[in-house]
A and B are shown apart, each in its own frame.
Chain A
Amino acid sequence: MNFFSLLIVASSSFFLSYLLSKYFSVKMRKMGITGRDVHKKGKPEVSEMGGLSVFFSVPALLFLLLLLSDPLDERVFAIALSLVFVGLVGILDDIFGLNHKLKPTLIVAASLPLMYVLFERTSVQIPFAGSMNIGLLYPLVAVPLAVTTSSNFTNIFAGFNGLESGIGFLATSTVSLCALLKGEQGIAMLGLGIAFAFLGLMILNKYPAKLFTGDTGTLLSGASIATIGLAAGVEFAAIVVSIPAAIDFALKMQNRNPFKQRSSFGDTRINEDGSLSPPPYPSLAHAFMIVSPINEKSLVRMLLLTEFLYCAVAVSVQYFLLR
């Protein structure tokens, strides 16, 4: 892999995703697939399922990598296939609304291609602890568990303009950079391509959003982090970049009805000055809202800054402790 190939992959993925996002922002509105932006006055209707632009970028990226690279690693195909399956689960979730039991089960099924190509792998590299050998638990338990957990973390850590696509870009590019540091060039190229697809989507998803990512986008974001992290053997980096979403998940689980908070407590309210007042249950976004008045744009900046710091930690750990 050289810098020129990387530039082609990143730029073509970015422009393809941006053009698709523009198309979907109009098309979804015409089809009536919209959602209410509850953090704006008047709660305007916004087109949904913007994650489709990343979903369609994955096969396009695979085709581009086939043209640019020598014979591609089978793990790159497995990542792409798993992501396409997870994207299909997201589409079903956006259209029909899957329940909380069926969705993780379908994502486990989506991780089968990755389980197959990583069947021989048995250990995880952890700083200070060294190599952690878990035998067959790696392909049979760790792989599906990681893909499902990561997808659901990013699915829950969402709901503000630009947050989902921003997390997708930052986390996926960081895990891909760690893969590159480990010498996994094919996987890193695919990962960076997906990261730039999220960046293309972010142009229409940022505040004020013209397109929501939908579950297609949030599930794909988490699945990208997990599949690239697992396939490249940079599992620890994937865990570190998922920590902000994991904190949000851990806080929400401390409530009595962890999956019914919105129906029980309602949505975040907007004050006259544009600042947000959270409903009374814990989450990472609510922690920012309760300490001092903050509007949606600044809140997303703070959450993305938190994610960025964790990305810096992930790259540092990979470079200094795990190389």
Chain B
Amino acid sequence: LIKHFIIILLSLFVFATSSIFSIVAIFLFNWANVLARDIAVVIFWISGFAISSRLLWFFAEGLKE
């Protein structure tokens, strides 16, 4: 059961990571115009999502019995 809860926590980690990525984009592209910053936020969010969902599977395989 604990391992199943770890997967739930890892799936919440996907949202947390992609949100952190987009917040980083807001600070990194603070100098740019609004459109460029918004595009950067979306790209960073999707990148964070793809990386962390891959990590979720990587950790799940590590926990395999």
Contacts and interface: CB of A to CB of B under 8 A. Distances in A.
Interface of A: 126, 128-129, 132-134, 240, 243-244, 246-247, 250-251, 254, 282, 284, 286-288, 290-294, 298, 302, 305-306, 309-310, 313
A86 B1 CA distance: 38
Given A133-B34, A243-B15, A251-B53, A291 B8 contact: no
A247 B55 CA distance: 11
- Interface centre among A132, A293, A310, A313, by most chain B C-beta atoms within 10 angstroms, is A132
A305 B41 contact: no
Interface of B: 1, 3-4, 6-8, 10-12, 14-15, 22-23, 26, 34, 37-38, 41, 49-50, 53-54, 56-57, 60-61, 63-65
28 contacts: A126-B41, A128-B26, A129-B26, A129-B41, A132-B38, A247-B14, A247-B56, A250-B54, A251-B54, A254-B57, A287-B7, A288-B4, A288-B7, A290-B61, A290-B64, A291-B7, A291-B63, A291-B64, A292-B1, A292-B65, A293-B65, A294-B4, A302-B4, A302-B8, A306-B8, A309-B12, A310-B15, A313-B12
Contacts of A287: 7, 10, 56-57, 60
Contacts of B23: 128
